[in-house]
């Protein structure tokens, strides 16, 4: 029975050209070999499983090869290369600093460095996880690292570059390895599957690549796991079942129900997710990624940033056309707040459900606004569904406008006057140019009430205008579109009389060049026609009759009733 070799070892690159996703580094190393400009120490930094140790071994094999190719690759045929390939070369020495991190271990290494190679020109010393060395071991290594024998080359590898002493960094050529792109990982997995006669679906390979998060070794380990689970036929459904990944169909259905204002269906979808054993935070995180992909799909220039594969690209584009940029951006804000507060919530399921309701009612308000452009809808429904939220990182409204332009959503970039004709209670400001003296008040929808107090500070406190603005419960309906809720016609008259100052203050405070201000009166008192209205003197007489002390007060201060 043949011994089984995992794919990560079986398909480990043997040449620079076979290294995946690190082209700039391999080209630099090949040029150094070609020009015979070898440094005495190299530091390879980067995430796990991206090829640091592999490149170090190929580099060691290349510089000792007796007959390198024209492309400066090892020939894999000479005595030195064959010794490397069969793991019996005396020219390469590997030390795991995680378990050999003492001063004594480094002293043994220094003694070994003095011995010249038996075959070839160079002895290469690869120290993996070098950041695990103790401070004393680093200091003992400094002198040898700076002035090693001519035949010695050091290659240090680490996943945590920030833990390396500056004195070590200054003695090495530093190479930063990148995470491997999803497309590159999928191509390599497809090559391995073909070599092993394994049937795969591209979407399943993409799921593996996403799960590996840029590490080829992790991707190959997951691939081997799925081969055992699926018995040699890796499908998308089997992949998500084995890797405990939520099916993207849940996210498409969720957005479809949001667009259809089906709040109850949202609750049922989330219940199905919980029943399948998935964590609520996983669902929220995945839904955030889905909304992000829809936002990127709003413009062909950013659609390429969606790593979903050709078969999913059309689905994202189709759903993105049905979603307004306001909805996508607002949903991302609410999901971000949900993620931040999820772990501290006592009822985590309810926390997610309220967020879904909030997003659903947000879309409901957008739909009602389109149906009734002249009538403002008070978002009381989604306010009652919201839970108290903590302040989050502030976001300027101007950022939202720029994102809408970036996405190329032409319908959403219209000004408020183009979207709808304001009623008699609407005030439209002229563009106010930004000045250096403009305040830098910032806000998001959740903290608008707090930032509003800062913006109206220029108005004199305790005046009727300031009191009316402070209690107006401002709503940010759309970029540049503010709505106030007033309590009387008198407050409306005050707002009308000072509208230019108010609009200028809002424009400067929030750095919005054009502002639309709308208001509605919610607490107006209607006096019945048959009601008898008494004159001031008659009212005073009634008060004096009930409390004679009022008359003494009038006489003492010589008061007069008008």
pLDDT number for residue 435: 41
Predicted pLDDT at 562: 64
pLDDT at 371: 61
CA distances from 219 to 6, 206, 559 (A): 12, 10, 90
Phi, psi of 365 (to 5 degrees): -65, -40
Three-class SS of residue 58? Answer: helix
**DSSP string over 305-351:** T--S-HHHHHHHHHHHHHS-HHHHHHHHHHHHHHHHHHTT-SSHHHH
Record the tokens describing residue 455, joined without a space.
């913006």
3-state secondary structure of 19: coil
pLDDT of residue 398: 38
Q: What is the pLDDT of residue 351?
A: 92
pLDDT of 156 reads 92
Distant-in-sequence contacts of 387-392, Cβ < 8 A, 24+ apart: 387/350, 387/351, 387/354, 389/337, 389/341, 389/446, 390/337, 390/340, 390/341, 391/446, 391/447, 391/450, 392/333, 392/336, 392/337, 392/340, 392/444, 392/446, 392/447
- Domains in the chain (CATH in brackets) are 7-176 (3.40.50.300), 182-243 (1.10.8.60), 248-390 (1.20.272.10), 419-521 (3.30.300), 527-562 (no CATH)
Q: Is the Cα dihedral 15, 21, 22, 26 positive or negative?
A: positive
pLDDT of res. 413 = 43
**Confidence (pLDDT) at 90:** 83
Confidence at residue 374, expressed as pLDDT on a 0 to 100 scale: 52
Quick one: DSSP state of residue 532? P
Look up the pTM and report it: 0.61
Inter-CA distances, 556 with 254, 544, 559, 560, 561, Å: 74, 15, 8, 11, 14
Low-confidence residues in the chain, pLDDT < 50:
1, 376-408, 410-443
pLDDT at 335: 93
């Amino acid at each position: 029975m043949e011994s089984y070799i995992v794919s990560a070892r079986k398909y480990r690159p043997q040449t620079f050209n076979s290294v995946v996703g690190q082209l700039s580094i391999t080209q630099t190393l090949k040029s150094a070999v070609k020009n015979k400009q070898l440094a005495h120490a190299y530091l390879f930094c980067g995430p796990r499983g991206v090829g640091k140790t592999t490149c170090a071994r190929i580099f060691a094999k290349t510089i000792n090869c007796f007959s390198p190719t024209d492309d400066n690759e090892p020939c894999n045929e000479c005595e030195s290369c064959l010794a490397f390939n069969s793991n019996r070369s005396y020219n390469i020495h590997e030390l795991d600093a995680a378990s050999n991190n003492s001063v004594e271990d480094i002293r043994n290494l220094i003694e070994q460095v003095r011995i010249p190679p038996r075959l070839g020109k160079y002895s290469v010393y690869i120290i993996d996880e070098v950041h695990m060395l103790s401070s004393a071991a680093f200091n003992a290594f400094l002198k040898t690292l700076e002035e090693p024998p001519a035949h010695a080359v050091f290659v240090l590898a680490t996943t945590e570059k920030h833990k390396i002493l500056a004195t070590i960094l200054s003695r090495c050529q530093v190479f930063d390895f990148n995470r491997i792109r999803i497309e590159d990982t999928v191509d390599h997995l497809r090559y391995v599957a073909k070599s092993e006669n394994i049937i795969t679906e591209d979407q399943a390979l993409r799921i593996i690549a996403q799960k590996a998060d840029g590490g080829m070794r992790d991707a190959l380990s997951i691939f081997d796991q799925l081969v055992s689970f699926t018995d040699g036929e890796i499908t998308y459904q089997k992949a998500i079942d084995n890797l405990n990944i939520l099916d993207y169909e849940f996210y498409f259905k969720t957005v479809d129900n949001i667009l259809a204002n089906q709040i109850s269906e949202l609750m049922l979808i989330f219940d199905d997710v919980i029943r399948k054993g998935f964590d609520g935070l996983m669902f929220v995180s995945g839904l955030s990624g889905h909304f992000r992909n829809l936002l990127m799909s709003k413009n062909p220039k950013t659609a390429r940033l969606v790593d979903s594969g050709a078969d999913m690209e059309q689905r994202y584009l189709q759903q993105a056309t049905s979603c307004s940029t306001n909805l996508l951006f607002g949903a991302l804000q609410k999901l971000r707040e949900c993620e931040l507060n999820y772990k501290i919530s006592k009822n985590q399921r309810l926390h997610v459900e309220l967020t879904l309701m909030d997003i659903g009612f947000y879309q409901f308000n957008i739909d009602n606004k389109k149906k009734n452009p002249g009538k403002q809808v008070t978002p009381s429904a989604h306010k009652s569904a919201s839970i108290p939220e903590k302040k989050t990182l502030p976001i300027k409204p101007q950022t939202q406008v720029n994102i809408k332009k970036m996405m190329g959503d032409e319908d959403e970039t219209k000004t408020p006057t183009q979207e709808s004709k304001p009623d008699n209670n609407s005030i439209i400001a002229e563009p106010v140019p930004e000045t250096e003296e403009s305040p830098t008040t910032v806000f998001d929808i959740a903290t608008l009430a707090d930032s509003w107090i800062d913006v109206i500070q220029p108005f004199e406190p305790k005046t009727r205008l300031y009191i009316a603005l402070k209690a107006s419960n401002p709503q940010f309906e759309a970029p540049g579109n503010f709505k106030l809720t007033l309590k009387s016609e008198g407050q409306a008259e005050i707002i009308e009389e000072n509208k230019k100052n108010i609009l200028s203050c809002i424009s400067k405070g929030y750095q919005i060049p054009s502002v639309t201000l709308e208001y509605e009166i919610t607490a107006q008192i209607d006096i019945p026609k048959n009601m008898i209205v008494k004159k001031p003197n008659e009212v005073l007489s009634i008060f004096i009759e009930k409390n004679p002390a009022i008359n003494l007060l009038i006489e003492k201060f010589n008061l007069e009733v008008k």
